[in-house]
Structure 1
Amino acid sequence: MTRIIENLAEVSDLYDAVLCDLWGCVHNGLTAFDAAVEALRAFKAKGGTVLLLTNAPRPRDSVAKQLDRIGVPRDCWDVIATSGDSARAAMLTGAVGRKVWHIGEPHDDPFFAPMELIEDAVEIERVELDQAEGIVCTGPFDPHADPSVMRPHFLLAKTRRLKLLCANPDIVVDRGDSREWCAGALAKLYTEMGGESLYFGKPHPPIYDLARRRLAQIGKPASDDRLLAIGDGIVTDIPGGIGENIDTLFITGGLAREETGTDHQPDPSKLARFLTDAQLEPTYSIGMLR
């Protein structure tokens, strides 16, 4: 049974580093959550390391700039690992070919920038679908449109046996009070239609390998039994941490706020039903990170 805790400090002495999700945990896409910022600051003050582990389909420098804009201060974190960087490394080594059809918005263009440490990188050319050797999906063209609008395109892509590189496995995200579709929803549809989708963010292993390398690069490696994965995604953050044998802290007041009856804290009976349905058992649960 998951243990409902009141704050991160209650268990922080057990861990050397946290792998903390961003959207829904530290901010809502528009503004920072002050209590979460203070919780991470307090963890760092006790000697802990904060790695922000995000399914954002962008380079980590781009994510850092976004955090600056919405008020997440740099003194509450140490390093960032993104699904975008993990996926970019695969793309630049030719995972879906040289000529790619890009599904995404203009603000995702940094995904195609050169990347350090990739030797002999493939020169990527963005082309139309009928000329493509593969697909790179950083998100929908319109995050408010139902993913089914992509069916005609995906039927052609499947017929041509194109692989789809998914830069963000998240299905949905809440931007303020508005829910938006993410790249994971399109990759899921493509797979259901018989296409092949490649994933690099949570809950899949490549992003956790990247996280461990990032910790080692800053001189803060941590054994798995001293890592805590924090997130609100019951299909990304929690199964990802469990799959890596890492303890998990489920933020119930994010995507699952309604299902878990979360106000200040989750309703224990609703939380239990929700986790039973999900067939998952996070180590800890809390309403919001604080």
Structure 2
Amino acid sequence: MHNVRIPRGIQDLVDVFDCFIVDQFGVLHDGTRPYPGAVDALVMLKQAGKTILVLSNSGRRSAPNEQRLLRLGFQNGSWDYFLSSGEVAWKRLEGKLKERVGGEPLKCLLMAREGDRSAVEGLPLEIVDSGADADIVLLSGSMGDRFDMDHYRRLLEPAAARNVTCLCTNPDKIMLTEVGPRFGAGRIAEVYAEMGAPVTWIGKPFPEIYEVAVEMLGRPLAARTACVGDSIEHDIAGGQRAGLPTVLVGTGILGMLTGAEKAELLRQHGAEPDYFLPAFVW
């Protein structure tokens, strides 16, 4: 990262940007607790008059994600908008299902975390337990801290054999859990694709979620809108593809990588952040 600027904290970027698109996992918290200084940094950024959108590769809808931030100790009102990939997928599915005329509800094999049903709540879908019965696979979360990949292969093989489309609403390949990093929903979707079955991706680094985020922000000037995240593959490459400046944060996934691994990811994804913050602090 030869041309990357290194500010002292997020306060050094207040005069540079009007809007901040901020990742949650790995930047604000680790899934169980906020990172030191992150709660205050978010509050002070909002008090500085900035518009903040929290953007997450969570298969859950936006509302449950916001509730989790509050439970973790983040202050209500310290962000303006929350957008999850699960929310984008839900709205896309709602639109497509409304176009169907008559017939039985689609049978959906739902793979979610901790029994979460927000990804399908209110949609005319019939939830099934077997890939052999599914018309669609909705992959919104991984239980990689409880099951191995063979568990998912067994569930998915009957659907893959029938060429059933998988909608992956959480492209993250690694997730942070209480027992350490484990494979995420994105890795499960990759395995499904390796079986020869079709996968539709929703979330960072793919364009649709950025288009929705920018629309929610009122289409601000791109040069004054920063994407902040800990993933080179998702946050930095995705932000750059959307034409937005990027800020790489050294916690979360990035904090688990060696220097050589970081360099390889930067090379592999053709991505280099504009700024580097060791942590999301004021």
TM-score, length of structure 1 as denominator length: 0.85
Q: Post-superposition shift, 1:2?
A: 1.9
Aligned length: 272
Q: Which residues of 2 match residues 1-290 of structure 1 at below 5 A?
A: 1-94=3-96, 98-114=106-122, 123-127=124-128, 128-176=130-178, 178-216=180-218, 221-260=219-258, 275-276=266-267, 278-290=269-281
d(CA) in 1 for partners of 2:150, 2:276: 34
d(CA) in 1 for partners of 2:251, 2:14: 20
Cα-to-partner distance string for 1:120-149 (whole Å, 9 max, x where unaligned): xx6111123222111011123454433243
d(CA) in 2 for partners of 1:235, 1:144: 25
Q: Post-superposition shift, 1:246?
A: 0.4
SS where residue 15 of structure 2 aligns?
A: helix
SS where residue 167 of structure 2 aligns?
A: strand
SS where residue 13 of structure 1 aligns?
A: coil
Distance change (3 Å), C-alpha of 1:36 and 1:94: same
d(CA) in 1 for partners of 2:147, 2:125: 28
Cα-to-partner distance string for 1:1-53 (whole Å, 9 max, x where unaligned): 22222211212211111100001100111112241222222222221111000
d(CA) in 1 for partners of 2:75, 2:36: 10
SS where residue 194 of structure 1 aligns?
A: coil
- Residue 264 of structure 1: aligned partner: none
Q: Post-superposition shift, 1:192?
A: 1.9
The residue type equivalent to 1:68 in the other structure is: L
Q: Post-superposition shift, 1:152?
A: 3.3
The residue type equivalent to 1:287 in the other structure is: P
Q: Post-superposition shift, 1:271?
A: 5.7
- Report if the CA contact (8 A) 2:144-2:184 is conserved: no
Distance change (3 Å), C-alpha of 1:278 and 1:144: farther
Distance change (3 Å), C-alpha of 1:274 and 1:57: closer
d(CA) in 2 for partners of 1:124, 1:178: 34
RMSD: 2.3
- Report if the CA contact (8 A) 1:87-1:199 is conserved: no
Cα-to-partner distance string for 1:61-117 (whole Å, 9 max, x where unaligned): 111111111111123211101111011122223479822111224432122123xxx
Q: Which runs of 5+ in 1 are unaligned?
A: 115-121, 262-268
d(CA) in 2 for partners of 1:243, 1:281: 11
- Report if the CA contact (8 A) 2:58-2:141 is conserved: no
| Aligned residues with identical type, % of pairs | 27
Distance change (3 Å), C-alpha of 1:48 and 1:108: same
- Report if the CA contact (8 A) 1:137-1:183 is conserved: yes
d(CA) in 2 for partners of 1:198, 1:20: 24
d(CA) in 1 for partners of 2:159, 2:264: 39
SS where residue 116 of structure 2 aligns?
A: helix
SS where residue 81 of structure 1 aligns?
A: strand
Q: Which runs of 5+ in 2 are unaligned?
A: none
Which stretch of the first structure deviates more once superposed, 14-23 or 168-177? Answer: 168-177
d(CA) in 2 for partners of 1:235, 1:169: 10
